[in-house]
Amino acid sequence: PGLPPPPLGDWLESREPALLAACARAARVGRLEGHLRTLERLLEHPDRDVREAALLGALVAGSGRAWTVCQEQALDPCEVHPRSMV
Protein backbone atom coordinates (compact mmCIF):
# COMPACT_ATOMS: atom_id res chain seq x y z
CA PRO A 1 0.00 0.00 0.00
CA GLY A 2 1.35 3.39 0.93
CA LEU A 3 0.24 6.87 0.11
CA PRO A 4 -0.56 8.01 -3.42
CA PRO A 5 2.26 9.97 -5.04
CA PRO A 6 2.19 13.69 -4.39
CA PRO A 7 0.47 15.61 -7.21
CA LEU A 8 3.68 16.73 -8.89
CA GLY A 9 2.47 16.51 -12.51
CA ASP A 10 3.68 19.57 -14.37
CA TRP A 11 6.31 20.35 -11.74
CA LEU A 12 8.30 17.32 -12.91
CA GLU A 13 8.41 18.88 -16.39
CA SER A 14 9.99 22.14 -15.17
CA ARG A 15 13.14 23.52 -16.77
CA GLU A 16 14.37 24.77 -13.38
CA PRO A 17 16.92 22.26 -11.99
CA ALA A 18 16.35 23.15 -8.32
CA LEU A 19 12.60 22.61 -8.69
CA LEU A 20 13.12 19.34 -10.58
CA ALA A 21 15.48 18.02 -7.91
CA ALA A 22 13.00 18.95 -5.16
CA CYS A 23 10.17 17.25 -7.04
CA ALA A 24 12.26 14.14 -7.64
CA ARG A 25 12.92 13.96 -3.89
CA ALA A 26 9.22 14.51 -3.14
CA ALA A 27 8.28 11.75 -5.60
CA ARG A 28 9.89 9.22 -3.24
CA VAL A 29 7.00 9.72 -0.81
CA GLY A 30 4.22 7.18 -1.24
CA ARG A 31 3.86 4.89 -4.23
CA LEU A 32 6.45 5.69 -6.87
CA GLU A 33 4.83 3.87 -9.78
CA GLY A 34 3.10 7.05 -10.89
CA HIS A 35 6.42 8.86 -11.29
CA LEU A 36 8.81 6.06 -12.23
CA ARG A 37 8.99 6.84 -15.95
CA THR A 38 9.70 10.49 -15.24
CA LEU A 39 12.35 9.64 -12.65
CA GLU A 40 14.03 7.31 -15.13
CA ARG A 41 14.01 10.08 -17.75
CA LEU A 42 15.56 12.47 -15.23
CA LEU A 43 18.49 10.06 -14.79
CA GLU A 44 19.86 11.65 -17.97
CA HIS A 45 19.27 15.27 -16.91
CA PRO A 46 22.30 17.59 -17.35
CA ASP A 47 22.09 18.81 -13.72
CA ARG A 48 23.82 16.50 -11.23
CA ASP A 49 21.44 17.33 -8.34
CA VAL A 50 18.46 16.36 -10.50
CA ARG A 51 20.12 13.10 -11.59
CA GLU A 52 21.01 12.16 -8.01
CA ALA A 53 17.51 12.89 -6.69
CA ALA A 54 15.96 10.91 -9.53
CA LEU A 55 18.38 8.03 -9.02
CA LEU A 56 17.43 7.54 -5.38
CA GLY A 57 13.71 7.61 -6.13
CA ALA A 58 14.02 5.26 -9.08
CA LEU A 59 16.16 2.83 -7.05
CA VAL A 60 13.58 2.79 -4.26
CA ALA A 61 10.94 1.96 -6.88
CA GLY A 62 13.01 -0.99 -8.09
CA SER A 63 14.00 0.46 -11.46
CA GLY A 64 16.35 -1.74 -13.44
CA ARG A 65 17.46 1.31 -15.40
CA ALA A 66 18.39 3.12 -12.18
CA TRP A 67 20.33 0.06 -10.98
CA THR A 68 22.31 0.04 -14.25
CA VAL A 69 23.06 3.77 -13.93
CA CYS A 70 24.11 3.24 -10.31
CA GLN A 71 26.53 0.48 -11.28
CA GLU A 72 27.98 2.53 -14.15
CA GLN A 73 28.51 5.51 -11.86
CA ALA A 74 30.05 3.44 -9.07
CA LEU A 75 32.59 2.02 -11.51
CA ASP A 76 33.32 5.31 -13.32
CA PRO A 77 37.11 5.78 -13.19
CA CYS A 78 36.91 9.48 -14.12
CA GLU A 79 34.27 10.88 -11.76
CA VAL A 80 33.33 10.07 -8.18
CA HIS A 81 29.62 9.38 -7.52
CA PRO A 82 29.41 8.84 -3.74
CA ARG A 83 25.70 7.97 -3.66
CA SER A 84 26.18 5.27 -6.26
CA MET A 85 28.87 3.59 -4.17
CA VAL A 86 26.69 2.97 -1.14
pLDDT over 70 at 65, yes or no:
yes
| Backbone torsion region of residue 47, taken as left when φ is above 0, otherwise alpha when ψ lies between -120 and 50, otherwise beta | beta
The residue type at 56: L
pTM of the model: 0.80
pLDDT of residue 31: 66
Average pLDDT, the chain: 84
Q: CA–CA separation, 67 vs 76, rounded Å? A: 14
